[in-house]
Structure 1
């Protein structure tokens, strides 16, 4: 079964909840995904707009060796994305 899973792209995915980091009224949730002994950069950006909670999820192609490195990279990429897009992230 492991061979077939790898052949068809099924990956072991494991995420654990994280505490948000606040940046410019956005909440950033690093949610690295464990894959084959490494961690894929992933997470969520949320913000309340006009009484409605908006959310943007993303999974990057970046894979690193530790969860802390994945979370740090996610935070820096999320902050850059917020600086570039602002509320348009949710469009």
Structure 2
């Protein structure tokens, strides 16, 4: 372990495990990407992205991040509900999600 790691209290065990990325699910012209977050309680928090991929090379792709307080005992269950929540957000907000033209943001 390096001097700076000891000094600042970091160790190799402090690194978060990299979770496998989920395949995007296409819905109503948008892509929903599940990105469940491991909560301190050992459960999985509902979080993900809604992406709008532009066909025009002059326009940037856009994405919106969403995070909810809901937690689930397994990663698989969280992923299922992330896709459900993403579809709900798209149904409720549709094109308004990207109305401000900013390439990234939160819902």
Say yes or no: TM over 0.5: yes
Q: Which residue of 2 aligns with 1:66?
A: 74
Pairwise CA distance, 1:58? 1.2
- Size of the aligned set, in residue pairs, is 80
The reply to whether residue 29 of structure 1 matches residue 33 of structure 2 is yes
Larger radius of gyration: 2
Pick from 50, 53, 64 the counterpart of residue 48 of structure 1.
Answer: 53
Question: In the TM superposition, what is the alpha-carbon distance from 1:69 to its structure 2 partner?
Answer: 0.8
Please tell me whether residue 83 in structure 1 is matched to residue 87 in structure 2: no
Residue by residue, what CA displacement relative to the aligned partner does 1:13-35 show, whole Å, maximum 9, x if unpaired? 86432110000110000110112
Which runs of no fewer than 5 residues in structure 2 stay unpaired?
Answer: 1-15, 101-107
Considering fraction of residues, name the structure with more strand.
Answer: 1
Give the match's secondary structure for 1:75: helix
- Cα RMSD for the two superposed structures: 1.9
Runs of 4+ in 1 over 4 A off after TM superposition: 12-15
| Partner-residue secondary structure (3-state), 1:29 | strand
TM-score (ref. length: structure 1): 0.77
Counterpart in the other structure of 1:57: 65
Change (3 A) 1:34 1:26: same
For structure 1, list consecutive stretches of 5 or more residues without a partner in the other structure: 1-11
Q: TM-score, normalised by structure 2?
A: 0.66
Q: In 2, are the aligned partners of 1:25 and 1:47 still within 8 Å (CA)?
A: yes
